[in-house]
Amino acid sequence: MSVQKLDAAGKKAGTVSLETRDLTIRFGGHVAVNAVSCAFKTGTLTAIVGPNGAGKTTYFNLISGQLNASAGQVLLNGRDISRLQASARMHAGLGRAFQLTSLFPRLTVLENVRLALQSKRQMGLDMWNIWSSHKDLIARAEEVLEAVALTAKRNMYAAALPHGDQRKLEVALLMALDPTVYMFDEPTAGMSVDEVPVILDLIRMLKTKTDKTILLVEHKMDVVRELADRIIVLHNGTLMADGEPEAVIASPVVQQAYLGLAPVGEAA
């Protein structure tokens, strides 16, 4: 099936930071992601939508390396990273939120960020290095905490933070790794009404960084409408539509397959 290109989105100028080519995975006879080819440009936020079981999370798993593809490639800044382990892909610049990062509950907020920065710099156990650049790390950690509005809580233990602040800290840890590509899979799922705006604000803040690329799987169409520069639609593992938000949302193919409306002429 050919992809419905709903505008000239794919042709606009800009550097491609992430690309998948014919990316495919089969589980037994079931093709969960089917030859998905898509290029994501630097400085854009792409929402990935589609019904439950469409293959969105599996597509993320193939990009971040939690799953190995049956066929196809993942390219990051033009480099084929398809054979790399998830951790190597993370070091190459793929940042998957709420998955790679786990908090150290018995360390303070600041120490958590400092450790993430340290792992990014791959200092390992070289004590002299750690000591000599300690001040530099703390300064950078303070900057990251400022960006996620956790400065006032920098000396609290991570375990003592309210849930919403823990999610902010997880974003801070991800930012400390300074990835090229941020991937969020239903970032507001399971959050309380107060916590949702906190996470959306963080994504808005990341969106202002023109050197970053954001992929967002999200079911809430109001969120998608506000944040996305582009929407791609997956359905039965296949890329079904791709284009600017309003055009994609309005398209009959999406209205029928995703929003569950009956095809024109079909009895309700």
Ligand X SMILES: Nc1ncnc2c1ncn2[C@@H]1O[C@H](COP(=O)(O)OP(=O)(O)OP(=O)(O)O)[C@@H](O)[C@H]1O
Tell me if 27 contacts ligand X by CB under 6 A: yes
Residue 166 tokens read as: 């823990």
Tell me if 57 contacts Mg ion by CB under 5 A: yes
Residue 69 tokens read as: 């593809």
**Parallel, antiparallel, or unpaired: how do β-strands 230-235 and 71-76 relate?**
unpaired
Q: How far apart are CA 128 and CA 1, in angstroms?
A: 58
Q: Which does 208 bind (CB under 5 to 8 A by kind): ligand X, Mg ion, none?
A: none
Segment interacting with ligand X, rule: CB under 6 A, options 47-55, 96-104, 155-163, 245-253: 47-55
> Cβ 39 to Mg ion, closest distance in Å?
22
Segment interacting with ligand X, rule: CB under 6 A, options 48-56, 101-109, 131-139, 141-149: 48-56
Segment interacting with Mg ion, rule: CB under 5 A, options 48-56, 98-106, 148-156, 248-256: 48-56
Tell me if 58 contacts ligand X by CB under 6 A: yes
Tell me if 32 contacts ligand X by CB under 6 A: yes
Segment interacting with ligand X, rule: CB under 6 A, options 46-54, 90-98, 107-115, 161-169: 46-54
How is the beta sheet containing 16-27 ordered, strand by strand? Answer: 30-41, 16-27, 71-76, 79-80
Residue 88 tokens read as: 């190597």
Q: Which does 52 bind (CB under 5 to 8 A by kind): ligand X, Mg ion, none?
A: ligand X
Q: CA 10, 11, 12 angle in degrees (round to 5)?
A: 100
Question: Closest CB to Mg ion among 165 and 218?
Answer: 218
3-class SS letters over 46-111 = EEEECCCCCCHHHHHHHHHCCCCCCEEEEEECCEECCCCCHHHHHHHCEEECCCCCCCCCCCEHHH
- Positions in the binding site for Mg ion (CB under 5 A): 56-57
- Positions in the binding site for ligand X (CB under 6 A): 27, 32, 50, 52-58
